[in-house]
Structure formats: structure tokens, C-alpha cells
Amino acid sequence: MHADILDEAAEREQQLIEIALANRQAPQMVYTGECHYCYEPIDSGHFCSPECREDAEKLERAEQQRRVS
């Protein structure tokens, strides 16, 4: 039992954070040497440009919306 209600609230909040982190999905992308959007060769990362990253994120959001409907 906690002497202070704020200490108890902080502990519960930390527990919720730990549970959320433990249950999050693993990243889906792995380095392949190609941009994940346009398939251009790249040395590091997942996208060749900020534009490709933004376009890929837009497609992912659209796909998530389709799954919800």
C-alpha cells in the first residue's frame, strides 16, 4: 500500500506504459538495400528520400483505414 495517492498513480501509470510497450507490434521493415517505396538502391535506412517515406506512410494510413471500415 502506498502512503501517497500520487505515488500509487505514478506506479500504475508506469505499469500501463510497460504493458503497452510489451504488447506493441514489432517493426515490419528490415533493411533490404532498396527503398521500400520506389525500390531504388540505398546505402542505409528504409527510404531513398523524405518524399518516398511520406508517400509510404500515406499508403499505410490508407490501408489501416480500409481495415477499420
Give pLDDT tens digits for 51-64: 999 999 999 899 88
- Could you read off the pLDDT of 37-52 as tens digits, one per residue? 999 999 999 999 999 9
Residue 52 in domain: yes
Contact criterion met (CB below 8 Å) for 48 and 38: yes
> What is the domain extent for residue 65?
25-69
Cα angle for residues 43, 48, 50 (degrees, 5° grid): 135
Q: State the DSSP string of 3-59.
A: SSHHHHHHHHHHHHHHHHHHTSPPP-----SB-TTT--B-SSSS-SSHHHHHHHHHH
Residue 11 in domain: no
Residue 50 in domain: yes
29 CB-near residues (< 8 Å, 6+ apart): 36, 46
pTM as predicted: 0.54
Residue 7 in domain: no
Residue 20 in domain: no
pLDDT over threshold 70, residue 3: yes
Domain count for the chain, please give it. 1
